[in-house]
């Protein structure tokens, strides 16, 4: 039924089938494969970030703050798809570690912007090197073109 819904609502479906047209398999179910690949990547990155006292969620908050030069907690939650209460806890962790600070918003006195500290920038740079090595290992089965295609497809699905 789910496979039929996927085919009818998506013009061929996201969920692959076992060949009989009715049942997805673990080798063809896109949701399962995305979750499996994502879980594998997150576990590997978490292990690599452990020496920095970070996990992938902390790392993505640092990445967003570095990329955007400071964001409100609401903006971080929207951008990263994280519940607001989880954003508060992550930013609290990072602030306790001295990696971010909450600066006043220049136009809204009620809002604070999450900004990397000097230590946060240095830690983010070092953690990025490690995370990129893990990413290279995860993408090793793909050539450069396949990797670029995968990133583009994931970007389209994620946004």
- The better pLDDT of the pair 134, 17 is held by 134
Q: Work out the pLDDT band at 55, boundaries 50, 70, 90.
A: very high
Q: Work out the pLDDT band at 14, boundaries 50, 70, 90.
A: low
pLDDT at residue 159 is higher than 60: yes
Q: Work out the pLDDT band at 23, boundaries 50, 70, 90.
A: confident
Summarize pLDDT for 81-138 with one digit per residue, the tens.
999 999 999 999 999 999 999 999 988 889 999 999 999 999 999 999 999 999 999 9
Give 106-145 as a DSSP string. Answer: SS-TT-EEEEE-HHHHHHHHHHHHHHHHHHHHHTTTS-HH
* CA distance linking residue 58 with residue 40, whole number of Å: 18
What is the rounded end-to-end Cα distance, in angstroms, of the chain? 27
Q: With CA atoms as reference, report the closest residue to 98 among 53, 47, 46.
A: 53
- The better pLDDT of the pair 159, 79 is held by 79
Res 158: pLDDT = 86
- The better pLDDT of the pair 113, 159 is held by 113
């Amino acid at each position: 039924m789910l496979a039929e819904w996927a085919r009818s609502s998506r013009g061929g479906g996201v969920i692959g089938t076992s060949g009989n047209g009715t049942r997805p398999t673990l080798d063809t179910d896109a949701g399962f494969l995305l979750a499996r690949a994502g879980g594998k990547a997150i576990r590997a990155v978490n292990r690599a970030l452990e020496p920095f006292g970070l996990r992938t969620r902390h790392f993505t908050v640092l990445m967003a703050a570095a990329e955007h030069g400071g964001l409100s907690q609401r903006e971080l939650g929207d951008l990263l798809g994280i519940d607001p209460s989880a954003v508060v806890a992550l930013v609290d962790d990072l602030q306790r570690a001295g990696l971010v600070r909450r600066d006043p918003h220049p136009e809204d006195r009620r809002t604070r912007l999450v900004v990397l500290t000097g230590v946060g920038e240095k830690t983010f740079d070092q953690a990025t090197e490690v995370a990129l090595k893990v990413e290279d290992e995860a993408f090793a089965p793909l050539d450069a073109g396949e990797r670029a295609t995968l990133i583009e497809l994931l970007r389209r699905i994620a946004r």
